[in-house]
Structure 1
Amino acid sequence: MPVSPRREMPAGPRRATLATVAASAGVSVATVSKVLNGRSDVAPATRSLVQSLLQQHEYVAPAPRRVEVTRVGEIEVQFDADLNAYSTEIIQGAVAAGAEAGVGVVVSIRKGADRTAGWARDLASAGRRALIAVTTELTARQLTALSRARVPLVVIDPLNLPRTRVTSIGSTNFAGGLAATHHLLSQGHRRIAYIGGPATAACNQARVAGYRAAMEAEGAPVIPGYVQSGHFRYHDGLVHGAAVLDLPQAPTAIFAGCDEMALGIMEAARARGLRIPEDLSIVGFDDTQNAQLASPQLTTVRQPLQEMGGVALRTALRLAAGERVDSHHVELATELVVRGSTAPVSEAGREERGAAGGFS
């Protein structure tokens, strides 16, 4: 029995495209698109022609592609100043912890004055599950705004101590200050200065308290002008280092509140012809990459900065999930790392400084 040839189903009418309409109107596809989008930069006659042809060709705009929302919410790590080596360590720890948890991490810089009334709402509308604020000063109004927007907050090394109970991550700053100062005292230094960050910063207060406790325990006086407050930046180390080194009774050793300030102090010392560590011993705080790049390499107190970033992120996720945290303040251990910027006090160096007016 012969097999009947297969009959092809007639194809339906082809759907009109922008190119079809444009060819019929003798205009560009861009012009047709402008008409569809209600743009005003099309001549009235051309607009009328295109609209007529769109109807004639029964043009139907394709349905917009559905955007799959793959983001399940991100954690924002926010700083209030330009990023530096300290910031980088915190970010690395937070990003690594975020990768393990399958959560994205957004890094931003938002200075205090930029945290306006809508700041917290903007964070919530952007899909932020929580905020990690680093070395930042937050007002009671800003804390209230975050609470109302339901954006959990974790702070690292806050610059102020808000009355509201805030979850914070830090290190054993007091113990670190104590260890740094004891190290210098063990090298025979008695004229030891401290140059740190803002006087209101909780981490700075703890470091200077450790410094004072060590000095008092050893019976070493804190000479007027030996404690200086600035910002945790190189320039502040340079300026305050110069001020301390120009005192009538200049120190033989300086404990800096962070590595970046220590580098500024080193430069201030070199500008005055001082050798490190022969004429001046310097201890930093943080143990960032700068400490090993310094010349000589910097003796410093190591903060576990990457671990702090990781703990902050995991804590933020727990708060975002509505879980309770075991403690509202977590302190990770510090450790003194001795390198080449400290040495026993030199009598020869002491005499040289005295001849130059550096010592009484």
Structure 2
Amino acid sequence: MIDRHLPAPRVRWRGDLSVAKIAQLAGVSQPTVSKVLNGRAGVGESTRRRVEDLLREHGYRRPAGMPATAGLEVLFSGMLSYIAVAVMGGIEDVAAARDLTVGFTDIKRRAAAGQSWIEPLLLRRPVGVVAAFAGFTAEHLELLDGNGIPVVTLDPIGDLHPTPSVGSNNWSGALAATRHLLGLGHRRIGVITGPVKDLAARARLDGFRAGLDAADVPFDEQLRRSGVLTFEDGRDLGLELLRRADPPTAVVCGNDLQALGVYEAARISGLRIPGDLSVVGFDDIEHCNWAGPPLTTVRQPFAEMGAAAARLVLDLAAGERPGQSRMELSTALVVRGSTAPPPTS
């Protein structure tokens, strides 16, 4: 259960000057000094450093239990993935340039252990939070906002408006994948998407349909499947499509794991890729180059997305308002060996 009234830790500081005098020397208000003392958000980094230098100079020492340096917190659901590592790398680059630390919370691991994650996070009082997991809710946002901790989400699955978010242009990525297959001559193209509630999955499906519409190719609902973004769902849903009397000659997938699952479905069905079936993924994880043949996919700029989210949340922490609540970075189609013209009759 979430404690909505979780108190901030009581902190006692000692120095040879009063907070009022420190504020006067730094040219800031007393509340600003108080925010720095207690590790609160809402202070620009140059101002924070100036105040911290004065505090150290005049004998203020951070009590035991308080974080040594201000930092950003990143929320994931499962850290062992190429995507998480790439996102963290982008965030770390921005944080390091501003003398900030980066911590992370693996929601999946804590949930499996029966542990809460929100209360420890609130006690750590990070400068800001980047939420890169599907389970982030409006309730979590309310708690963090009530404690003065700004939040930026990475590709939220639902509408958390007006929470600022960073993602890639899922619509144009799916459009490019579909045009690529159409250009090769495919007309019976299957599509496997992520969960229908997922905003990114909806955008990719819309981009897929737009590609078909532009080529005057009817969208066949019988060639559409929706599932979770896993290898197993790609395999199982791929088998459903390939066992039809009139199977597709190509499949566009919701992510690379689903696409690799379709590889397995093709193997089980005795089909060759790309001779009998072309496959396109989405994300461009490192496994794409290890597949046989290497997977054609849509690359998402995960490191750049992490960096953009970090810059945005630090701007919010400094009291700046973003010009737009949604930032989208460009995707790029990476053509490899899994796509070719359809087989001749």
TM-score (norm 1): 0.73
1:201 matched to which residue of 2? Answer: 198
Residue 256 (structure 1) aligned with residue 253 (structure 2)? yes
2:154 matched to which residue of 1? Answer: 156
Residue 132 of structure 1: which of 130, 137, 142 is its match? 130
Q: Cα RMSD over matched residues? A: 2.5
Residue 280 of structure 1: which of 277, 282, 291 is its match? 277
Instruction: Map 1:20-31 to 2 at 5 A.
Output: none
Letter in 1 for 2:187: R
Distance 1:195 1:70 in 2: 45
Q: Secondary structure at the match of 1:341?
A: coil
Letter in 2 for 1:274: L
TM-score (norm 2): 0.76
1:114-155 deviation per Cα after TM superposition (whole angstroms, max 9, x unaligned):
5x9x85443221132211111424333222112112221111
Greater relative contact order (CA < 8 Å, ≥ 6 in sequence)? 2
Letter in 2 for 1:258: N
Counterparts in 2 of 1:170 and 1:180: CA distance versus 1, 3 Å? same
Q: Secondary structure at the match of 2:222?
A: coil
Moved over 6 A (4+): none
Residue 222 of structure 1: which of 219, 222, 225 is its match? 219
2:120 matched to which residue of 1? Answer: 122
Counterparts in 2 of 1:243 and 1:165: CA distance versus 1, 3 Å? same
Residue 339 (structure 1) aligned with residue 327 (structure 2)? no
Distance 1:141 1:92 in 2: 28
1:77-119 deviation per Cα after TM superposition (whole angstroms, max 9, x unaligned):
11234532222221222222222222111122215995x9x85
Distance 2:213 2:306 in 1: 34
Gaps of 5+ in 1: 1-64, 352-360
Distance 1:343 1:135 in 2: 35
Counterparts in 2 of 1:156 and 1:147: CA distance versus 1, 3 Å? same
- Which deviates further from its counterpart, 231-240 or 105-114? 105-114
Counterparts in 2 of 1:135 and 1:196: CA distance versus 1, 3 Å? farther
Distance 2:65 2:144 in 1: 28
Residue 300 (structure 1) aligned with residue 297 (structure 2)? yes
Q: CA deviation at 1:200?
A: 1.1
1:313 matched to which residue of 2? Answer: 310
1:130–1:320 contact (8 Å) kept in structure 2: yes
Gaps of 5+ in 2: 1-61
Residue 146 of structure 1: which of 144, 147, 167 is its match? 144
Distance 1:190 1:337 in 2: 21
1:242–1:269 contact (8 Å) kept in structure 2: yes
Larger Rg: 1
Distance 2:121 2:175 in 1: 39
Residue 238 of structure 1: which of 230, 235, 240 is its match? 235
Counterparts in 2 of 1:91 and 1:233: CA distance versus 1, 3 Å? farther
1:138–1:160 contact (8 Å) kept in structure 2: no
Aligned length: 283
2:5 matched to which residue of 1? Answer: none
Residue 265 of structure 1: which of 241, 254, 262 is its match? 262
Counterparts in 2 of 1:260 and 1:88: CA distance versus 1, 3 Å? farther
Residue 171 (structure 1) aligned with residue 168 (structure 2)? yes
1:234–1:263 contact (8 Å) kept in structure 2: yes
Identity %: 40
Instruction: Map 1:80-119 to 2 at 5 A.
Output: 80-81=77-78, 83-111=80-108, 119=117
1:193–1:222 contact (8 Å) kept in structure 2: no
Distance 1:266 1:102 in 2: 45
1:185 matched to which residue of 2? Answer: 182
